[in-house]
Amino acid sequence: MIRTRSVVAILGSALFAHAATAQGRAELPVIPQPASARPFEGSWPVPAGLPVEVAYQDDRTLSGWGVRVRLVPADSGNGPESYTLTVAPGAVTITAPRAAGRFYALTTLQQLVDAAKAADPAEPRIGSVTIADAPRFRYRGLHLDVARHFQPVSVVKRYIDLMARYKLNTFHWHLTDDQGWRLAITKYPRLTEVGSCRKETMVAKNFSPYVGDGTPHCGFYTQDEVREVVAYAAARHITVMPEIEMPGHAVAALTAYPELGCTPGPFEVMTTWGVSDDIFCPTERTIAFLQDVLTEVLALFPSPLIHIGGDEAPKVRWDASPVAQEIIRREGLKDSHELQSWFVKRMDRWLSERGRRLVGWDEILEGGLAPGATVMSWRGTAGGLQAARLGRDVIMTPGPPLYLDHYQGDARFEPLAIGGFSPLETVYAYEPIPDGLTPEQQRRILGAQGNVWTEYLATPAALEYMAYPRALALAEVTWSPRAARDWAGFQRRLPNALRQLDRLRVAYRLPTVTGLERDVTTLEPRIAIPLAATWPGATVRYTLDGTGPTATSPAYTRPIEITTTFDGTTLTARQFTSDGRAGPIRAMVVRRTVFRERDDVQSSALVLGLRMALIRAAVRSTVGIDTLPVARRAVVAGVTVPVEDEDERVKPFAAVFSGYLEVPEDAMYEFSLTSDDGSTLWIGDTKVVDNDGLHGAEERTGMIALRTGPHPITVRYIQGGGGAVLRLRVRTGTGAWRDVPASWLTHRP
């Protein structure tokens, strides 16, 4: 007798309840979720000897296990990566127009097989289903920086293997930077003889005073190794896009060939992180050098896209260089920004003549975009919007949420990271096509990419912890139809995917307990906090003294009742799996408060805007910046970075915004303060949000109960160099976040 099951019954009746969708899809235990899945009667018994890695078997081997593959001309208009996979009682049939579609069908089958074996190891079966699938975006990328911390070929191959399992199709290989040059170039051997080694690496974030680890960090790839990686990726239908940074992030190259700088040097491969003023000088000698390098790059990488960086290139050296200024005069350029555009256009033309396309970070928009360039939008979505409106191709990779080296939980309990905050749910919620584009402009969005920068990721395990499971969310964002994306469904499917990663010994980050996303400030004397595990069968354990829960801490059985105090109670929780693994810790502070009464000042005595004092100083904290000399004063409409010039924004400074916040009603207000680097929000003498210190773009929130009317407000901000971000938002209850309205911000004239 043949037993029949629903296609989703392999995960049990709980999942079956969620199987149907309004669009006629069934929810499969697969990431990314296919475009269409229609179950029918019957099931396919998984052969006992079916190879563990189905996707890498040839058609003859697959046929022996009842899996038939046909490559036929595409007639559905779904593109070369599309496929149809039919699982029936007698056989599995795959139809695809190209080898890529065949491969993706087999990766889907692989996940179905794994789920079936997990559900019933003795007699695994897959419910009958017809899957018609194709990617939403043709560019689905994952990036790896090997310049800051070098990784051997074996690690790079494993990285590519994991990408392939989830239908990511472009590996962005960041090969050069200030801290190391990782690609052997035959014509210029000193690039690796000298530029691939730094004498040591800064310990943690010890910029000032500087502390180094005393250990040289070296490594590079031979050209044979690069060919090996490129071929390995191609077999998995992944294109390797190399990045050779220019004109900035060039210190490792300048150390090897100092004559390419605008100053004589000497230079030293950087041991700290950040942005250097020393960049390539835009001379004909430099351009010839870089084109020589790219000649060898093109011979190694068949990718149609070649990334040349173009980001974070301070113009200090160019502004002071007679050579650079002469080029500006000769070419009729306005300034150094147009000089960079001229430089990028030279490279764009050179690559176009050789049948390749230039890709650059969104700074390449400044001074005019090269005709053939594709823009990689990383500083939010503005660059992508601008490029799409210009009719140029765009790859979206804003950080956050797509910087996968950012923190994914409370920094107090996470491994050291560069900063930022990009939790799994934020990655999953990301929509690559921004609002405000016409249908034609939307088609310019090629796709999206997750970036893994490695300033603080020295080991393969650290890479995997930061990339997974966030790369799974990215895979679904870039492959699945927008209508098929469902956070609750993704959470249901995630444990099965993570069990598959367990089999591969991937050092992913376990999901966190839900219910502790933000601190709570309340007017109530008692409050109950509900928590929930996110791993099947896990036990949630908690403490109320701020310490990390252990396997012997109290187990959560019902909402935790807390008697609120003005000093606050710290609730921490984590989940423990049935096999004894401990998940990440989450914590919240529950604090009682009372309404803050409005200030005595009359609203009629106030005018719109906040006072802003700009301070030119390099500081590590907002504490005491009010006492420093002020370089400029102004009245501003809102709390944003008070320096517009790109070259000035990357230099250290501080700012103090002060005045009044006039709220329209008695309410509990929640404020969000996002900054790079540090910031604090004070209302009266209460520090509502503490986001202080030197760090990347990070968001912190805080709550305060305010009576209607004006309240003194002070926002302090510091910029330590590099990226600059400052944003203040507000909401009441569970409403939507919005920028603090300009009409709420006032000051005494």
Question: Alpha carbon of 19 to those of 88, 473, 489: distances in Å?
Answer: 19, 20, 9
Tell me whether residue 249 is one of the annotated catalytic residues: yes
- Give residues with Cβ within 8 angstroms of 212, minimum separation 6: 199, 200, 201, 202, 203, 271
Q: Which of 177, 245, 393, 464 is catalytic?
A: 177
Q: Looking at this protein, which amino acid is placed at residue 291?
A: Q
Strands 92-96 and 67-71: parallel
411 within 8 A of 699, measured Cβ to Cβ: no
| 368 conformational bin, left if phi > 0, alpha if psi -120 to 50, beta if neither | left
Tell me whether residue 177 is one of the annotated catalytic residues: yes
Q: Which of 172, 217, 249, 747 is catalytic?
A: 249
Cα of 250 vs its chain's centroid, Å = 24
CA proximity to 148, closest of 19, 251, 77, 239: 251
**Residue-wise DSSP of 139-160:** EEEEEEE-SSS---HHHHHHHH
CB environment 83-108: b (16+ within 10 A), e (fewer): bbbbbbeeebbbbbbbebbbbbbbbb
Rounded to the nearest 10 degrees, the angle between the axes of helix 284-300 and helix 336-353 is 40
For residue 749, the cross-strand partners are none
Cα of 276 vs its chain's centroid, Å = 23
Question: Alpha carbon of 173 to those of 140, 141, 313: distances in Å?
Answer: 14, 10, 20
Burial class from Cβ neighbours inside 10 Å (0-12, 13-18, 19+) for residue 641 reads middle
Question: Residue 555 has which token pair?
Answer: 């187990």
Q: Looking at this protein, which amino acid is placed at residue 176?
A: T
Tell me whether residue 711 is one of the annotated catalytic residues: no
Q: Which of 133, 278, 312, 676 is catalytic?
A: 312
Question: Alpha carbon of 398 to those of 293, 377, 382, 449, 739: distances in Å?
Answer: 29, 6, 9, 9, 19
481 upstream amide cis, omega within 30 of 0: no
Separation of first and last alpha carbons in the chain: 87
677 upstream amide cis, omega within 30 of 0: yes
| 5 conformational bin, left if phi > 0, alpha if psi -120 to 50, beta if neither | beta
Strands 526-529 and 632-636: unpaired
Q: Residues with catalytic annotation? A: 177, 249, 312
